[in-house]
Structure 1
Amino acid sequence: MTTTTGGAPPGHGAPVAVARGLLTGTVAGASSAALVVGPVIGSVPLFLAGLGLPALCGLLALLAGMARRAREEAVPPRTALARIEALDATGDDEHSELTVRFDLTVAPDDAPAYRVEVTEDVHRVDLPDHRPGGLLVVQYPPDRPWRVRIVRRPTPAWEDRAAAARIDSAPGPPMPSRPVKGSAGRAARLLALLLSASAVVLLFRADLFAGDAGDTGARSPGPRPSVSATTSAVVVTSGLATVTLGPGQSLLDPGELRRAVDPLTGDGNGRRALTVIAQERTLTVAFAPTGTAAPGFDPRALPYERIPALVAQAKSGSSTGSPQTWHLTASRTATGPLTIRIVVTGPDGTARLEADGRGELLRHTPAP
């Protein structure tokens, strides 16, 4: 039996990646803006909304994923024959199984054949049975034909079909077994992040700018922080303080983070911080409004000496590409502990690291 190939292979749809990028960017932009704007205008609900929005969206995504997986499991997979065009095995002598990347031509009974790339673990003993030109029995979901899985123990009927059939090679390069994240999803994520952050600022622009103008005469100015020789600017408002380093300097230089935060807390007034945000040359502390029960912490208690090593660890083992930017956020919830989150972003991906209030590593997610 000979199977004739032809037709265009099924493609991966981009709308899902664009929609996911829009949702991720909207949540990231809105929550980040709320965490900064909330303390400035003294709005505890806005600040708590900035903390709770990512958690709520994560819970909804988890529930949606569970429902989707339930629907997928209810639909039986399709079975087809596949021709091995090429294979590449990698591994070491310590493991009995090798990771094999297969280039397959899948020939469904009711659709044109197509090429797909599949990665499977194969035992060393079974590797000689998989050779270019050989036939395999595979299965895949009807709505996602690129998610091909090799059937290791097919039924006798399919074994007989594989022994008697002959499949011609399908043209074209193989599709990856997972959809490739293109530039459309990244562009949608960046656009949504900028728009959502701008929307939060615009919604509360009256409180942001009117608060500073109305408080100048009614409130006596606090002690002005001293500017150290290593900083180029210190800006302090009623609830927000920002330190910006001069050209050629970095907050990751030895002792620079501690020297940057000292001018903001040097008067010993014991003000508690809602969040501390640091980037390459900028340190921002959002203070809790006086007389409120908002969750906070002493900004002087952060393990600043450990942060350069944590940023270096977040960059290690990650294929984010170059150039890289890093972003640190230290905050705590109403009942949870102080958490330090570091995000390293490059043109090829994002790596994340979380540590506790003492600078001890909790989890590290390298870039894919």
Structure 2
Amino acid sequence: MTNPASAPSPHRRPAGLALGFLTGGVIGASLTAFIGGCVVERAPLVVTGLALPAVYGLAYFLGTLPRRARRAAVVPCTALARIEAREATKAETSDVPVRFELSVVPDDAPAFRVEMWQDVNQVELPDYRPRGVVVVEYPPDRPWKTRIVERPTPQWEERAAGAEMDAVPGPVVKGETPSGCAGGLLTLLGLLLGVAAVLLLFRADLFDSDGGTNDGRAPSAPAPTPSVSVSVSSSWSTSTVTSATGTVTLGSGQSMLDGNQLREAVESLTRGADRRRALTVVVQERMLTVVFSPTGVRAAGFDPRSLPYDRVPDLVEEAGTTPGVGTARSWQLIADRVTGSLRLRVVVTGSGGSGTLEADGRGTVLRRSGGS
């Protein structure tokens, strides 16, 4: 006959709630500081976002070290237990999570009922049948940490084989339960307060990064935007200009080889006092595309208005006379000067193949190639 023990509290709920609240605050503050620092390019914020969780983790480790040392020094109790209920869940591996309800009967302490989870190999699962007797171990101060001993010593194995036990009445000691809705709300509240704390403490860096300096001087002019797009449409063309490229598209029935069409299209993209330079100019039948040099790089590129406009129709016609090209269907002129001198390359595609012609900046033919 056994005397059932009263169900002990599986954990200290206020401490767990406080830890969840603090963890949420650290998560919110560190993420906000790190992301905000990356966006506004502020090293102190980035360092704060990285250092805060590291400091919190170290403090938690040092703070719980004495408790974990005390628990590690406690010698676990060994006892016999009767399996009152067993519920196995499905698993894709050989080890199956099983929920056990046990009646634990220690030799020198009151008996108690406990609910616990343990992974059991599928092959060994039939050995743990209800009303069977097993050997268990548990810390005396935390009986909800009960574990079934899979390979007990011969003495305990012999005792379990010949033991007959009755079910222990009374409440069931369950494992550490989650903090539930209250814990989740406190964690969320801590996260929001952590975000708010970072936004409040670093508001000058986050929201006034483009404002005036704090030394009394006037605020500096705002930096130019990296990409400004301007589109102009008319009955004959559409023009689009950004900080990186410019494009002109002619209307139906028009061609860049007509009259001064190409010259006017280039000048429409290069108006202004800055006289923007180009890395590459691509001309097709009804489209002009200019890739501009990066801002502040003076040496790279060329002035697109220096192209030999008068020679372009002749170069296209000459490339189309390459043997094997056949009837010309499309053409393309590419002018670039990344290094060295300006070079023009004209490619004409026809019914029989394609022909390529290369010329210098004055339109003088240097070489021809292609054909079927």
> Normalised by the size of structure 2, how large is the TM-score?
0.50
| 2:143 aligned counterpart, secondary structure | coil
Aligned to 2:105: 107
Aligned to 1:134: 132
Q: Deviations over 1:51-80 (max 9, x none)?
A: 222233334445666665444322110122
Distance 1:180 1:41, change over 3 A: closer
Tell me, in whole angstroms, the C-alpha distance in 2 between the residues paired with 1:89 and 1:119: 10
**Does structure 2 conserve the Cα–Cα contact (< 8 Å) formed by 1:10 and 1:145?**
no
Q: Does 1:221 align with 2:219?
A: no
| 2:144 aligned counterpart, secondary structure | coil
**Does structure 2 conserve the Cα–Cα contact (< 8 Å) formed by 1:8 and 1:112?**
no
Tell me, in whole angstroms, the C-alpha distance in 2 between the residues paired with 1:93 and 1:185: 31
Question: How does 1:4-15 map onto structure 2 within 5 Å?
Answer: 4-5=3-4, 7-15=6-14
**Does structure 1 conserve the Cα–Cα contact (< 8 Å) formed by 2:111 and 2:168?**
no
Tell me, in whole angstroms, the C-alpha distance in 1 between the residues paired with 2:203 and 2:139: 50
**Does structure 2 conserve the Cα–Cα contact (< 8 Å) formed by 1:35 and 1:50?**
yes
Q: Deviations over 1:127-149 (max 9, x none)?
A: 44422112222111223211111
Tell me, in whole angstroms, the C-alpha distance in 1 between the residues paired with 2:96 and 2:207: 62
Aligned to 2:116: 117
Distance 1:39 1:99, change over 3 A: closer
Distance 1:8 1:58, change over 3 A: closer
Aligned to 2:84: 85
Question: Structure 1 regions of 5+ residues with no counterpart?
Answer: 229-265, 271-368
Tell me, in whole angstroms, the C-alpha distance in 1 between the residues paired with 2:104 and 2:188: 37
**Does structure 2 conserve the Cα–Cα contact (< 8 Å) formed by 1:7 and 1:112?**
no
Q: Deviations over 1:30-54 (max 9, x none)?
A: 2233235546776422331222222
Question: How does 1:283-362 map onto structure 2 within 5 Å?
Answer: none
Aligned to 1:302: none
Aligned to 1:143: 141
Aligned residue type for 1:26? G
Tell me, in whole angstroms, the C-alpha distance in 1 between the residues paired with 2:91 and 2:163: 35
Distance 1:41 1:132, change over 3 A: closer
Distance 1:80 1:184, change over 3 A: farther
Tell me, in whole angstroms, the C-alpha distance in 2 between the residues paired with 1:68 and 1:3: 32
**Does structure 1 conserve the Cα–Cα contact (< 8 Å) formed by 2:25 and 2:190?**
yes
**Does structure 1 conserve the Cα–Cα contact (< 8 Å) formed by 2:6 and 2:171?**
no
Distance 1:28 1:179, change over 3 A: same
Q: Deviations over 1:319-366 (max 9, x none)?
A: xxxxxxxxxxxxxxxxxxxxxxxxxxxxxxxxxxxxxxxxxxxxxxxx
**Does structure 2 conserve the Cα–Cα contact (< 8 Å) formed by 1:115 and 1:170?**
no
Aligned to 2:178: 180
Aligned residue type for 1:55? A
Aligned residue type for 1:192? G
Identity of aligned residues (%): 44
Measure how far apart 1:9 and its partner are: 4.8
Name which one, 1 or 2, has greater alpha-carbon Rg: 2
CA RMSD of aligned residues (A): 3.9
> Normalised by the size of structure 1, how large is the TM-score?
0.50
Aligned to 2:29: 30
Aligned to 1:235: none
| 2:109 aligned counterpart, secondary structure | coil
Tell me, in whole angstroms, the C-alpha distance in 1 between the residues paired with 2:202 and 2:122: 61
Measure how far apart 1:150 and its partner are: 0.9
Question: How does 1:196-207 map onto structure 2 within 5 Å?
Answer: 196-205=194-203
| 1:167 aligned counterpart, secondary structure | coil
Distance 1:42 1:120, change over 3 A: closer
Tell me, in whole angstroms, the C-alpha distance in 2 between the residues paired with 1:66 and 1:111: 31
**Does structure 2 conserve the Cα–Cα contact (< 8 Å) formed by 1:139 and 1:149?**
yes
Aligned residue type for 2:119? E
Distance 1:100 1:190, change over 3 A: closer
Aligned residue type for 2:12? G
Tell me, in whole angstroms, the C-alpha distance in 2 between the residues paired with 1:269 and 1:65: 57
Q: Deviations over 1:283-319 (max 9, x none)?
A: xxxxxxxxxxxxxxxxxxxxxxxxxxxxxxxxxxxxx
| 2:10 aligned counterpart, secondary structure | coil
| 2:30 aligned counterpart, secondary structure | helix
Question: Structure 2 regions of 5+ residues with no counterpart?
Answer: 231-291, 297-372
